[in-house]
């Protein structure tokens, strides 16, 4: 028996501000199936589904619903056609109750009758639907009292009560525990068995293997293939998803003798809210690059923030051997000790976009007094140093040092950050997704700097969701999953083994 | 095919263009104000005459404009400093009041020899103004108390305290009016050559001082970070709290000095309403000037011209002085609107194939 | 004990402007728009009320015209804040300044200053008005009696109606509301205008019914106190009403203290409302660090993400 096509996308393109998110992507989901959309971060999965849900308009390509061509003008139209999407970031009004949130969404319900009537009707509908699908939700509970898993259920109810027959879930298990994830996916599979089309956007191999009837793999904005998960081996799936190693750079050999330990992290755990970090231990030696590989969302950002001194609620110890605890060091001390931080969020934590390049650069060495005492800022010295740094680090697009930093392209902004952080020879380099959004040339330049720092004896921590990058750069690799380092590998490391470690603990 | 207009945030607009738009908006504002004046009864032909010629090209009124500009420059600078730290110091009037009270205390209690009197008054004015800004900034830094309300409440408390003094302990026994006894001659801000008051060079000197702070000192760099990117500021090591504290205290001191200027410069005594209009003017000057000290000085001159012209409008055409307030507000609205065009671009977007 | 009776009897008259202004502010701020212009809008309402009465000699007309005038002026604020996305703090301040100038100008040029109006007669609620000490509480003009009703209506509209739900949603999470198809800017505009009408009414109450004349800048900071009231009533209408009554008590005390001959400088009593406001704000900040009752999106302009 062949099932009918529910949703079909053909040859869809989408560009954001110069970045090619989707390139001739195809996708077909059928009724009655759980269809997984699998790929790494940045593969284009969310963008593709946002088009189906009417949030983005496709540039070229076409969308078919039930084999009829459709042009969606907005999410409300998509909802009317029975498409419902549950996003990663819930769109719930936290102080309101479940019923109130759902009532908000059902604007088209015309009831004559008092507000109380409507609310009661909605509550009844919620209970009925919840019972039917096995959710345990109290319509009168305020959202902020619900757990993340429960809030997700509210989003699902919201979409179902609006009449969705095509259910798209964007990385639904990213925020759930294993138990909760199982419950959710089983429920969702139940929907499919009843005839709905369920699309599961995910990067978790296990979920795909256990719950999906069909899987479409995406990489770099393209659809690689679409097949039944039980028709290939796990290894093959991994290979299709992470790809072969594409960089030309050789992997570091095993002949590097590591120096003494420099940074020791013990039992780092998140306090409050979600347990992003869960007892993480890590030792970083001088003269090595330690790469942290892992699927995004396993605590990497929290680890990076905690190490870089960006406010992050954690407990545990981060010790610079011989100098003290990282948490006790203020910015001055960090600079003096030669701690260089390259955060992932360039304009949120590293560069002040509205300020000039010179201003941004100055903060690198200002505490040493190199740029004058308080009462006189030696702007010329700053500009001289900045000009030299721009030259040395090959920051392009600088017409004037006084121009706003925000005008620099991604790659050059990153080079500026590194130029600033390396104003003094670094002894500890903390880099989080340093080549994200950079082109090949800029990426190489960045990597060169990190290697050079390592060669000069610095301890370099590289957190990256790009496995290629970690493989090419790191002397030692730690796989991070669910808030801790679950496996360590020395180079030359087996890519498959790393891939397995990344997915098996999910 | 649908066409839609979207609002885009512009990254940067070339400086000359910004200046052009700003000038156009100012002119527009002045035109609107002119229209309001005509509606209020000023003959249209007289407007140009009144505003430009009589005010600026007459030596006497030019002096009046400069004289009026001095305290306005001070409060404008005070506003610039605080706003650069993203601290809404609306308490300029209160700080002016306490500055003047502090200076008057020196005269009432005859502290110091006649030669030292004026310098002591100046110091007292700055210290008292500064002290009246300590509470709001500490409350904001430690307890996140909204400074808009706290500075305003302190304003009203200061106003009432002033009235208490003016009708009570410090009232001049010679008259029934609510003001202090006249200052002695050595307690007034003296006139320099050509009848220009000392307050003018003080104001210009202060403008240069503030320029130094925001442009040349390291504090200015820190302040830029606090103003434009507070999140990044913390991450890259700017001492945010200290910077805000410094800026606000400096702001309070300048406002206090402005209070002295009005009391010991214009009025010759402490009166019950000397501060009226300066507080909000300072805020609006800072906004017009985008917190730039030089622009603030120019804006203050513009507002001072308005003040002086406004007074003569009052005399000759019975236009109430509130007109000046209204014109100021109109100017600011026009400039703020122009800001919108500088920051955004309206783009036509084709939707669909 | 005459003083106490007198004092109690005057409380409602002083409390009503705070209450109405605070309610207007709450409505606006619940939609996520930071409204600092209360002082200005109150002045507009006050001068418009007097002017309308002097022109039409009808109290009802005067009050309604005051509300309309304030609403019209608030459109300028809406333009600045919703369309041009000018910083809401600056917009509020400029609005106050604008209104101060405008109201003084109108008052002077139209000759409305210092012209007494008769106000409204008091209606005695028998038999409550015969009670000892508190009897005078029940001898007030009709607007005072209407105020609790207005509060009831507003609370019903905000918390027990679908448009009210939507308004609050817009203030808490405009992105989610937009995703649910709610016109964010439309609701904010409505909130600004309705709020302004109430604030205008508060101003007109002071000029037409309480002081019974217009003097420039007669609101004397009450608008700012209302702003503070809303913050430490944590945007709850009933708490704001309680706060308004508290301030009414304090303000009503002022003439009584003067009459009683207590040797306290009257200006310290004048200071009291502001000092107490400041004190309560500090106390609240120390006590609970919970800003969860503040509308989630207060003060942030709403720009819909690109949807092409």
The answer to whether residue B353 scores a pLDDT higher than 60 is: no
Contact A104 C307 (CB under 8 A): no
Q: How confident is residue A4, by pLDDT bands cut at 50, 70 and 90?
A: confident
Query: Does residue C38 contact residue C21 with C-beta atoms inside 8 Å?
Result: yes
Q: How confident is residue B351, by pLDDT bands cut at 50, 70 and 90?
A: very low
B301 and B330 part of one domain: no
B298-310 pLDDT, tens per residue? 999 989 988 888 8
Choose among A310, A302, A303: nearest CA to A284: A303
The predicted pLDDT at position C109 comes to 84
Region B194-207: what's the mean pLDDT? 86
Q: What is the mean pLDDT of chain B?
A: 85
B313 and B325 part of one domain: no
Please report residues of A whose CB lies closer than 8 A to that of C177: 93, 104
Q: Do domains A5-242 and A247-338+426-506 have the same CATH topology?
A: yes
Of B88, B139, B150, the CB nearest to C89: B88
* Residue predicted with more confidence, B13 or A429: A429
> Nearest residue on chain A to C292, judged by CA atoms?
A95
The answer to whether residue B222 scores a pLDDT higher than 60 is: yes
Neighbours of chain B (3+ CB pairs under 8 A): A, C
In degrees, rounded to 5, the angle at the alpha carbon of residue A211 between the alpha carbons of residues A206 and A212 is 100
B166-186 pLDDT, tens per residue? 888 888 878 777 888 787 777
Please report residues of A whose CB lies closer than 8 A to that of B238: 331, 363
Token readout for B14 is 């070339």
Contact B340 C85 (CB under 8 A): yes
Region A275-285: what's the mean pLDDT? 88
Q: What is the mean pLDDT of chain A?
A: 84
Task: List Cβ<8 Å contacts ≥24 apart for A102-106.
Answer: A102/A126, A102/A139, A102/A154, A102/A157, A102/A158, A102/A161, A103/C162, A103/C165, A104/C165, A104/C166, A104/C169, A104/C176, A104/C177, A104/C180, A104/C182, A105/A158, A105/A161, A105/A162, A105/C180, A105/C181, A106/A161, A106/A162
Show which of residues 82-111 on chain A sit within 8 Å of chain C, judged by CB atoms: 91-96, 100, 103-105, 107
Interface test with C, best of B42, B92, B136, B153 (most C CBs within 10 A): B153
- Range with the lowest mean pLDDT among A78-82, A237-241, A309-313? A237-241
B115 and B26 part of one domain: no
What is the three-state SS of B36-81?
A: HHHHHCCCHHHHHHHHHHHHHCCHHHHHHHHHHHHHHHHHHHHHHH
The answer to whether residue A13 scores a pLDDT higher than 90 is: no
Supply the CATH number for residue B192's domain.
Answer: 1.10.3470
Query: A14 and chain B: CB distance < 8 Å anywhere?
Result: no
B21 and B59 part of one domain: no
Interface test with A, best of C181, C183, C292 (most A CBs within 10 A): C181
Which 3 state secondary structure label does DSSP give A408? coil
Contact A76 C181 (CB under 8 A): yes
The answer to whether residue B227 scores a pLDDT higher than 50 is: yes
3-state helix, strand, coil split of chain B in percent (to 5) is 75, 5, 20
Q: What residue ranges define each of the domains in chain C, with the CATH number in brackets?
A: 2-287 (1.10.3470)
Q: What is the mean pLDDT of chain C?
A: 87
Please state the ipTM of this predicted complex. Answer: 0.83
> Nearest residue on chain C to B280, judged by CA atoms?
C97
B352 and B308 part of one domain: no
B130 and B92 part of one domain: yes
In DSSP terms, which residues pair with A30 in a beta bridge?
A5
Q: Is C289 exposed, middle or buried (0-12, 13-18, 19+ CB in 10 A)?
A: exposed
Q: Is C87 exposed, middle or buried (0-12, 13-18, 19+ CB in 10 A)?
A: middle
B6 and B72 part of one domain: no
What letter does residue B189 receive in the DSSP assignment? Answer: P
The answer to whether residue A179 scores a pLDDT higher than 80 is: no
The CA-to-CA distance between both ends of chain B, in Å, stands at 7
Q: How confident is residue A282, by pLDDT bands cut at 50, 70 and 90?
A: very high
* Residue predicted with more confidence, A40 or B256: B256
Interface test with C, best of B326, B328, B353 (most C CBs within 10 A): B326
Of B217, B234, B352, the CB nearest to A71: B352
The answer to whether residue C119 scores a pLDDT higher than 90 is: no
The predicted pLDDT at position B1 comes to 36
Class of the A247-338+426-506 domain? alpha beta
- Range with the lowest mean pLDDT among A17-31, A81-95, C151-165? A17-31
A443-472 pLDDT, tens per residue? 888 898 999 999 998 999 999 887 888 888
Region A155-161: what's the mean pLDDT? 90
Region C221-249: what's the mean pLDDT? 90
B348 and B265 part of one domain: no
The predicted pLDDT at position A505 comes to 57
Region C181-197: what's the mean pLDDT? 94
Taking the C-alpha atoms of residue C235 and residue C243, their distance in angstroms, rounded to an integer, is 11
C259-294 pLDDT, tens per residue? 776 666 778 878 888 888 888 888 878 876 555 567
Q: C264's torsion region: left (phi>0), alpha (psi -120 to 50) or beta? A: beta
Q: How confident is residue C80, by pLDDT bands cut at 50, 70 and 90?
A: very high
Show which of residues 216-245 on chain B sit within 8 Å of chain C, judged by CB atoms: none
Total domain count for chain B? 2
The CA-to-CA distance between both ends of chain A, in Å, stands at 34
| Cis geometry, peptide bond prior to residue A492 (ω within 30 degrees of 0) | yes
B116-170 pLDDT, tens per residue? 888 899 999 999 999 999 999 999 998 888 888 899 999 999 999 998 888 888 8
How many angstroms separate the Cα of B161 from the Cα of each of B101, B266, B267, C148, C275? 10, 21, 19, 35, 12
B178 and B279 part of one domain: yes
- Range with the lowest mean pLDDT among A79-88, A241-250, A301-310, B47-56? A241-250
Q: How confident is residue B204, by pLDDT bands cut at 50, 70 and 90?
A: very high
Query: C86 and chain B: CB distance < 8 Å anywhere?
Result: yes
* Residue predicted with more confidence, B29 or C260: B29
The answer to whether residue B67 scores a pLDDT higher than 90 is: no
Query: C227 and chain B: CB distance < 8 Å anywhere?
Result: yes
| Range of the structural domain that residue B159 is part of | 43-318
Size of interface A-C (CB pairs under 8 A): 56
The answer to whether residue A17 scores a pLDDT higher than 70 is: no
Q: How confident is residue C244, by pLDDT bands cut at 50, 70 and 90?
A: very high
Contact B218 A348 (CB under 8 A): no
Distance of CA A243 to the CA centre of its chain: 19
The residues, any chain, with a CB within 8 Å of residue A18's CB and separated by 6 or more, are none
Q: How confident is residue A436, by pLDDT bands cut at 50, 70 and 90?
A: confident
- pTM for this predicted structure: 0.83
The predicted pLDDT at position A424 comes to 83
B55 and B163 part of one domain: yes
Decide yes or no: CATH 3.30.70.20 for domain A5-242. no
Q: How confident is residue A109, by pLDDT bands cut at 50, 70 and 90?
A: low
* Residue predicted with more confidence, B218 or A495: B218
The answer to whether residue B23 scores a pLDDT higher than 60 is: yes
The predicted pLDDT at position B150 comes to 92
Q: How confident is residue B36, by pLDDT bands cut at 50, 70 and 90?
A: confident
The answer to whether residue A494 scores a pLDDT higher than 90 is: no
* Residue predicted with more confidence, A2 or B175: B175
Taking the C-alpha atoms of residue A383 and residue A398, their distance in angstroms, rounded to an integer, is 12
- Range with the lowest mean pLDDT among A295-299, A478-482, C47-51, C270-274? A295-299
B175 and B238 part of one domain: yes
- Please report, rounded to a whole number, the percentage of residues in chain C having pLDDT higher than 70: 94
Q: How confident is residue C158, by pLDDT bands cut at 50, 70 and 90?
A: very high
Helix (H) or strand (E) holding C293: none
C202-228 pLDDT, tens per residue? 999 999 999 999 998 899 889 998 998
Domain-by-domain residue ranges, chain A? 5-242, 247-338+426-506, 357-423
- Please report, rounded to a whole number, the percentage of residues in chain B having pLDDT higher than 70: 90
Size of interface A-B (CB pairs under 8 A): 79
Q: How close A353 gets to chain B, by Cα (Å)?
A: 8
Helix (H) or strand (E) holding C4: helix C2-30
Q: How close A135 gets to chain C, by Cα (Å)?
A: 23
> Nearest residue on chain B to A351, judged by CA atoms?
B232
B314 and B229 part of one domain: yes
Taking the C-alpha atoms of residue A36 and residue A201, their distance in angstroms, rounded to an integer, is 6
Region B26-43: what's the mean pLDDT? 83
| Total Cβ atoms within 10 A of residue A231 | 9
Taking the C-alpha atoms of residue B172 and residue B267, their distance in angstroms, rounded to an integer, is 14
């Amino acid at each position: 028996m062949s099932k009918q096509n529910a949703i079909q996308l053909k040859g869809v393109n989408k560009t954001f501000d110069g970045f090619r998110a989707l390139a001739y992507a195809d996708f077909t989901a059928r009724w009655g199936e759980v269809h997984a959309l699998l790929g790494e971060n940045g593969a284009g999965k969310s963008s593709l589904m946002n088009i189906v849900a009417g949030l983005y308009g496709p540039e070229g390509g076409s969308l078919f619903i039930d084999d009829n061509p459709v042009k969606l003008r907005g999410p409300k139209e998509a909802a009317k056609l029975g498409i419902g999407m549950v996003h990663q970031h819930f769109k719930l009004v936290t102080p309101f109750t479940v019923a109130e949130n759902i009532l908000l969404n059902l604007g088209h319900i015309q009831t004559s009758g008092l507000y109380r009537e409507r609310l009661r009707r909605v509550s009844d509908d919620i209970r009925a639907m919840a019972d039917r699908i096995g959710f345990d939700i109290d319509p009168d509970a305020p959202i902020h009292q619900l757990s993340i898993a429960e809030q997700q259920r509210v989003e699902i109810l919201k979409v179902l009560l609006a009449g969705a027959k095509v259910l798209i879930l964007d990385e639904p298990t990213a925020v759930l525990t294993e138990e909760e994830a199982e419950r959710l996916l089983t429920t969702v599979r139940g929907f499919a068995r009843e005839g709905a089309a369920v699309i599961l956007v995910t990067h978790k191999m296990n979920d795909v293997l256990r719950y999906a009837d069909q899987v479409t793999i995406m990489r770099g904005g393209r659809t690689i293939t679409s097949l039944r998960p039980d028709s290939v081996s796990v290894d093959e799936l991994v290979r299709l998803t992470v790809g072969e190693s594409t960089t030309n750079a050789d992997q570091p050999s095993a002949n590097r003798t590591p120096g003494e330990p420099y940074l020791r992290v013990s039992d780092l755990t998140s306090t409050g809210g979600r347990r992003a970090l869960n007892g993480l231990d890590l030792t970083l030696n001088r003269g090595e690059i330690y790469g942290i590989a892992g699927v995004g969302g396993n605590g990497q950002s929290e680890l990076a923030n905690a190490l870089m001194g960006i406010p992050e609620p954690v407990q545990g110890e981060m010790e610079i051997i011989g100098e003290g605890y990282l948490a006790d060091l203020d910015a001055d001390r960090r600079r003096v000790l030669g701690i260089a931080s390259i955060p992932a969020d360039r304009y949120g934590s590293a560069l002040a976009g509205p300020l000039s390049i010179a201003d941004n650069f100055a903060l690198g060495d200002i505490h040493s007094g190199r740029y004058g005492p308080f009462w006189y800022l030696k702007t010329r010295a700053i500009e001289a140093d900045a000009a030299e740094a721009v030259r040395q680090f090959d920051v392009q697009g600088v017409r004037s040092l006084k121009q706003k930093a925000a005008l620099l392209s991604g790659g050059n902004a990153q080079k500026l950050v590194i130029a600033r952080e390396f104003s003094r020879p670094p002894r500890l380099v903390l880099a989080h997704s340093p080549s994200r959004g950079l082109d090949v040339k800029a990426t190489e330049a960045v990597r060169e700097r990190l290697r050079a720092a390592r060669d000069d004896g610095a301890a370099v921590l590289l957190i990256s969701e790009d496995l290629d990058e970690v493989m090419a750069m790191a002397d030692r690799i730690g796989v991070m999953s669910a808030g801790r380092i679950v496996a360590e590998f020395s180079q030359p490391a087996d890519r498959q083994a790393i891939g397995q470690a990344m997915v098996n603990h999910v | 095919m649908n066409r839609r207009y979207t609002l885009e945030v512009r990254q940067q607009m070339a400086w000359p263009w910004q200046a052009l738009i700003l000038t156009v908006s100012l002119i527009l504002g002045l035109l609107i104000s002119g229209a309001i004046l005509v509606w209020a009864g000023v003959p249209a032909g007289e407007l140009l005459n009144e505003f430009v010629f009589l005010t600026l090209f007459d030596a006497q009124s030019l002096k009046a404009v400069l004289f009026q500009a001095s305290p306005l420059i001070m409060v404008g600078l005070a506003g610039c400093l605080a706003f650069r730290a993203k601290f809404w110091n609306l308490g300029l009037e209160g700080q002016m009041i306490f500055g003047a009270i502090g200076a008057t205390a020196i005269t009432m209690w005859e502290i110091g020899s006649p030669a030292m009197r004026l310098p002591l008054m100046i110091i007292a004015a700055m210290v008292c103004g500064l002290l009246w800004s300590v509470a709001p900034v500490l409350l904001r830094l430690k307890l996140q108390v909204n400074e808009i309300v706290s500075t305003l409440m302190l304003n009203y408390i200061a106003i009432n305290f002033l009235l208490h003094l003016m009708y009570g302990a410090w009232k001049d026994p010679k008259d029934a009016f609510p003001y202090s006894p006249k200052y002695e001659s050595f307690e007034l801000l003296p006139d320099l050559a050509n009848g220009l008051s000392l307050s003018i060079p003080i104001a210009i000197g202060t403008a240069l001082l503030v320029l130094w702070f925001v442009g040349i000192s390291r504090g200015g760099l820190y302040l830029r970070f606090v103003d434009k990117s507070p999140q990044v500021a913390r991450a890259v090591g700017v001492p945010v709290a200290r910077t805000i504290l410094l800026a606000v205290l400096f702001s309070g001191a300048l406002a206090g000095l402005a209070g002295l200027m009005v009391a010991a410069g214009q009025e010759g005594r402490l009166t019950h309403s000397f501060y009226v209009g300066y507080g909000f003017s300072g805020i609006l000057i800072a906004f017009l000037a985008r917190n730039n000290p030089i622009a603030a000085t120019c804006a203050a001159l513009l507002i001072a011209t308005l003040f002086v012209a406004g007074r003569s409008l009052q005399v000759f055409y019975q236009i109430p002085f509130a007109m000046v307030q209204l014109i100021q507000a109109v100017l600011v609205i026009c400039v703020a609107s122009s800001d919108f065009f500088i920051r955004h671009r309206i783009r036509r977007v084709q939707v669909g194939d | 004990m005459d003083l106490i009776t007198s004092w109690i009897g005057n409380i409602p008259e002083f409390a009503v402007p705070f209450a109405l202004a605070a309610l207007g502010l709450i409505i606006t701020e619940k939609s996520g728009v930071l409204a600092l212009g209360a002082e200005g809008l109150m002045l507009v309402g006050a001068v418009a009320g007097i002017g309308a009465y002097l022109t039409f000699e009808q109290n009802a007309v005067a009050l309604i015209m005051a509300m309309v005038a304030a609403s019209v002026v608030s459109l300028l604020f809406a333009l600045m804040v919703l369309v041009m996305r000018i910083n809401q703090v600056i917009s509020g301040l400029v609005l106050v300044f604008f209104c101060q100038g405008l109201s003084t100008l109108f008052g002077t040029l139209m000759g409305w200053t210092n012209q007494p109006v008769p106000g409204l007669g008091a209606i005695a609620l028998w038999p409550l008005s015969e009670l000892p000490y508190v009897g005078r509480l029940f001898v007030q003009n009709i607007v005072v009696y209407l105020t609790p009703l207005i509060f009831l209506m507003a609370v019903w509209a905000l918390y027990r109606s679908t448009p009210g739900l939507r308004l609050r949603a817009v203030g808490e999470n405009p992105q989610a509301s937009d995703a649910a198809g709610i016109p964010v800017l439309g609701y904010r505009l409505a909130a600004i205008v309705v709020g302004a009408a109430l604030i205008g009414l508060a101003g007109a109450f002071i000029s037409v019914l309480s002081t019974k004349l217009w003097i420039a800048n007669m609101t004397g900071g009450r608008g700012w106190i209302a702003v503070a009231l809303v913050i430490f009533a944590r945007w709850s209408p009933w708490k704001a009403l309680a706060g308004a009554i508290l301030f009414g008590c304090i303000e009503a005390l002022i003439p009584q203290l003067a009459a009683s001959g207590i040797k306290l400088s009257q200006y310290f009593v004048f200071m009291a409302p502001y000092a107490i406001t400041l004190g309560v704000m500090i106390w609240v900040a120390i006590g609970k660090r919970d800003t969860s009752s503040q509308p989630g999106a207060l003060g942030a302009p709403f720009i819909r993400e690109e949807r092409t």
